Structure 1
Amino acid sequence: MANNINNNNQVIPKLIDINTHQFVEPRKVITNQNELNQFLMTQTCKDFLVFIQRVGDEIVSKSNSADVLVSPVTSGILAAITEMSNWIDGIPPLAQPMRYGNKAYRIWHAKLLENIKSLHESFLPQPMHKSIIELSPYLIDAMGNQTRLDYGTGHELHFVAWLYCLRSIGALEASDEPAMVLKIFTSYLNLVRKLQTVYGLEPAGTHGVWSLDDYQFIPFIWGGAQLVNHPLIKPSSILDEKIVNQYYQDYMYLSCIKYIMNVKKGPFHEHSRDLFNISGAANWDKIHKGMFKKFFDEVMTKTPIIQHFLFGSLIVFSLDG
């Protein structure tokens, strides 16, 4: 299916009528591979994948510091992410054996639950406040799991779903899509990396040396788009520590490489074989497209990940037909 997605400049996601729409609390639906296979054939799944592709198209050859529109809602979301990051500073790790995630994360997560409604109210126009019941679970799950003390690509997927829902209700508009990636998503990345490092969150479902990254996937798709036609940075440049250090703040792909270099020990080709092999690609366009296919194969088709995905009235899937 990943190869059959066509982006014909459709309005995706479809905008709902905020005045008449009935919002619901989203819930898990998929429990096995057969049910996941049903979902993969739906228009909902196709629309979600087109959304990921299209916003990537909006940032082709653009750095994180590109001059893009930052709307009041975008500014409000960035302020909310900053607030969540500041909570970490006030909740230091507990003294405990660090084989598993630090239990102080649960204190941070409880603060998230306590403030989730007010965080949304801080940037959503008042007529959209009734959508908070549906938006909140996506943002909560995007921050990791407080029981298992872990974080992985399924949590990241829920942040993308949250952005999709914000587009569905019209809080973020088409003109906001470049900033959605270059400002909002990059700020989210910084936040969850801070959670991972401060609280030692376990990777959820890592593939070891064959992982792109123990925690993230989307920044390799969108980060590849950013580097298309870059005059200096080539796919092989990820092996040049000087280039990575010079440009990682401007390009998501390189920020991923920088983060991996910081948290993993040993030669890059040993601890990150897949990324090392991908660095031999001819160009960034090939990597960008290849990463999307890899995302579909390794995230969207995997029951252990998608069984936790939430469905409601904005991202719809029912086994009843």
Structure 2
Amino acid sequence: MAISLEPLHTAPRLLLRAELAPIAGTRFQPTGFPDLGAAEYDHPTEPYRMLLVESPQSMANRLESVCWDEAAEDWRPPLRGLPRVDVYDQHGGFLTNSVLEAHRLNSPYILEGKDTTVMQLLKRELGLLGESLPVDVRKLARTVFKYDPNSVLHGLFLAKKELAGGRLRLSRLLSSFIEAEDARVAPNGGVKNDRVDPTGPTNQGFGNVPFHRDEYVARRIHAYFVLDLALLRSYGLGATAETFLTLFALYKIQHFLIEGLRLRTACDFEVKQVEVIRPSGFELPTADEIDRELPGLIDRLRAEGLLAAENLRVRYEVKS
């Protein structure tokens, strides 16, 4: 039985909230930022502190990590057949691809090397857009979807002057973050022991070195997931592509909640409950249901000519 997405057809957003809790004990370690550390801030209406446990940028990467099979160097089985851009060195060794790269299709290994395969393809399919011309976002979305559909869901900024003066941009369709309410510091620490010379020079790695670390406890921890359905529909990709991208987003969310919640050594969560905040009436499909649906959708997309027949290959010369 096909998954029903009818409540999403006219909704502007899909908003999910998952309540999390530490899998062991009460403490957890949030993400940290250079020159800032943990991101604490005041709740706008309540008299307590909030804490950003995981940022939207980090969550985007984590949502894609559950799509990739490191051992096979390929998509997980339900996603096999999705096109992407693979990068190889001058000896034919695999380097990276548009799924693993921080800026996806805009990776310097794809667009900045001597191999201009992708650049020329984009110029050909998008047209040589002058800097003063308006950007055809629908054409951009169709082209990116054909060769790297994951970049449509993730968002993309093609910051190349040769392409519309560096104005080609697709906003992120799926965004997420984790925050904690009424967060309080749980200070702790330890010591690095030197069993040979406890008084050795610590700046060279010797000696006993005590250290402190701040972990946190919180009243509640929530992961939020937002899928911009109105933006997706504005691309005009068609019913099959819209259904696929919606289920692809739900695949990322469900598999992250099942297997991706060990964020750090001292930050490991479990799911207490998942709520559909909006739209009302939508029932979240299970991971198994999504896994069964995706391969057939990928086949249909290829039959409709919306996906490239094979991955693009780019060579990037690595300096010896």
Please identify which structure carries the higher helix content. 1
- Normalising by the smaller structure, the TM-score range is under 0.3
Superposition TM-score, scaled by structure 2 size: 0.25
Q: Which has the higher contact order (CA 8 A, sep 6+)?
A: 2
Superposition TM-score, scaled by structure 1 size: 0.25
Structure of higher CA gyration radius:
2
